[in-house]
Amino acid sequence: MSFTSILVTGGAGFIGSNFVRMMAREHPDTKITVLDSLTYAGNLENISDLIDAGRVRFVKGDIRDPIAVRAAMSGAEVVFNFAAETHVDRSIEEAASFIETDVQGTYNLLNFARELKVARYVQISTDEVYGSSDGTDFDEESPLKPGNPYSASKCGGDLMCLAFANTYKVPVVITRSSNNFGPYQHVEKFIPLFTTNAMEGKDLPLYGDGMHQRDWIYVEDNCRAIALVAEKGKTGEVYNIAVGNSQPNLRVAELILKHVGKTDSRIVFIEDRKGHDRMYKLKAEKVRKLGWQPRTDFADAMEQTVKWYVQNRGWWERVKSGAFREYYEKHYKDKLARGKAK
Ligand code: NAD
Ligand code: TDX
């Protein structure tokens, strides 16, 4: 099924841009609006071809700003909220922006979803809300035990969503996925950082003993699950999304080195992240019962992903240097100010 019109917040970031690309490709009749404030993590290059082709309407705006949200959400049938502060290390340094965007921004979106009577509001959340696992698989009823300021903020957003579903009958669904990987991921995150450092012959900084585990899902598998939950999920319900592919970080780092084929980089063990969650583990039967199953094999997808960073060196070099901002200034700033980048 296709939606008539969707609002994708955070659509210039990693998962949001992959979602927008998938929807644009597979649902040619769906009108797509992206609302993104273009923080350090937002990169218009990720969707510039679709904006230039008139396939995506881009609105530069903040989910904390009621005027921007109201304008962008008007006419949307379904809202997908990907916009968030997302990097755990940054939240350990400074959590205020996480609380503002991930909690206050979500509240703001929910208020307008209620007022404008959207048919569906999809909150994109994370496995991190359950906290570190001692080996048990968490299902959707497991208690929330966030282990860092980022995941605590995501819990705040999730709980506000559930409260709006219960109190005002806003048609909310929540997805909680495990770690995503794929193209267009910011170079501050583990897999792109290690891949690009290896290409540059730099060291790969592994936290602690390197035996923390993450359950990796290819971004497009997650995007498909999100679209399915939007269509078939039950209001007020949470859906975990994971494939059960836990890997110790050391193993993933070795795999990256193998695919990049560099011998002048080395893995170095550095001081551990404060409060570092050892492992996340999810039961994801509920989303499978809706008809979802991953299409991607981890080994193949890792090879393809590393290849994407190898082939798109200009993209990540501009992210690392900050030069991707110049691209925005040159191509869009005036047009967006005049409301023409549609
Ligand atoms: P990202 O950091 O790559 O992108 C976030 C996007 O949101 C950026 O484009 C940024 O400009 C935008 N944004 C941030 N604050 C904003 C604000 N106040 N108003 C408007 N736009 C704003 O993040 P990502 O990795 O693509 O994650 C997307 C969502 O998925 C997040 O909600 C995150 O919590 C969730 N998630 C991510 C992962 C993962 O592995 N990356 C896993 C599970 C869940
Ligand atoms: O330099 C590094 N060295 C290292 O050992 C970095 C950046 C990370 N790591 C480790 C920490 C984690 O165990 O790699 C693992 C993955 O780290 P991140 O890429 O920072 O991801 P994580 O902390 O697991 O959180 C991610 O998945 C859940 C996303 O950033 C979140 O937004 C999402 O909710």
The pLDDT value recorded for residue 67 is 97
- Measured from CB, residues less than 6 Å from any atom of ligand 1 are 9-10, 12-16, 36-39, 41-42, 62-64, 82-86, 101, 105, 124, 126, 154, 177, 179-180, 186
- Give CA 45 to chain center in angstroms: 16
- How far apart are the CA of 45 and the centre of ligand 1, in A? 16
- Range 235-272 burial, b when 16+ CB lie within 10 A, else e: ebebbbbbbebbbbbbebbebbbebbebeebebeeeee
Q: Identity (one letter) of the amino acid at 103?
A: V
* Predicted TM-score (pTM) of this structure: 0.97
- Contact at 8 Å (CB) between 261 and 303? no
- How far apart are the CA of 247 and the centre of ligand 1, in A? 23
Mean pLDDT of 321-334: 76
Write the pLDDT tens digit of every residue in 180-208.
999 999 999 999 999 999 999 999 999 99
Q: Is 127 a catalytic residue?
A: yes
Rounded CA gap, 275 and 185, in Å?
24
The pLDDT value recorded for residue 336 is 66
Rounded CA gap, 268 and 202, in Å?
10
Residue 337 confidence class, pLDDT cut points 50, 70, 90: low
The pLDDT value recorded for residue 338 is 57
Rounded CA gap, 114 and 69, in Å?
12
Q: Is 65 a catalytic residue?
A: no
Q: Which atom of ligand 1 is nearest to the CA of 63?
A: 19
Rounded CA gap, 147 and 154, in Å?
11
Indicate if the pLDDT at residue 221 is higher than 90.
yes
Spatial CA neighbour of 113 closest among 157, 79, 68, 64: 79
Mean pLDDT of 201-229: 97
Beta bridge partners of 120: 78
Spatial CA neighbour of 262 closest among 188, 187, 196, 189: 196
44-47 contacts at long range (C-beta below 8 A, 24 or more positions apart): 44/12, 44/324, 44/327, 44/328, 44/331, 44/332, 45/315, 45/318, 45/324, 45/327, 46/12, 46/13, 46/14, 46/17, 46/184, 47/11, 47/12, 47/17, 47/20, 47/21
Write the pLDDT tens digit of every residue in 132-141.
999 999 999 9
Task: Indicate which residue of 45, 102, 121, 150 is catalytic.
Answer: 150
CA distances from 247 to 182, 222, 281 (A): 16, 18, 11
Matching CATH number, 5-184+216-244+274-295+324-338, of 3.20.20.410, 3.40.50.720, 1.10.287.1080, 2.60.40.1180: 3.40.50.720
Sequence-distant (6+) residues with CB within 8 A of 314 are none
Indicate if the pLDDT at residue 307 is higher than 80.
yes
Indicate if the pLDDT at residue 280 is higher than 70.
yes
Write the pLDDT tens digit of every residue in 147-173.
999 999 999 999 999 999 999 999 999
Residue 342 confidence class, pLDDT cut points 50, 70, 90: very low
The pLDDT value recorded for residue 121 is 98
Mean pLDDT of 214-235: 98
Largest Cα–Cα separation, the chain: 58
- How far apart are the CA of 42 and the centre of ligand 2, in A? 18
Task: Indicate which residue of 128, 215, 220, 221 is catalytic.
Answer: 128
Indicate if the pLDDT at residue 119 is higher than 70.
yes
**CA quadruple 106, 112, 115, 119: dihedral sign:** negative
Tokens read off for 310: 């190898």
The pLDDT value recorded for residue 250 is 97
Domain ranges of the chain: 5-184+216-244+274-295+324-338
The pLDDT value recorded for residue 264 is 73
Q: What is the chain's mean pLDDT, rounded?
A: 95
Question: Which stretch of DSSP H or E encloses residue 270?
Answer: strand 267-270
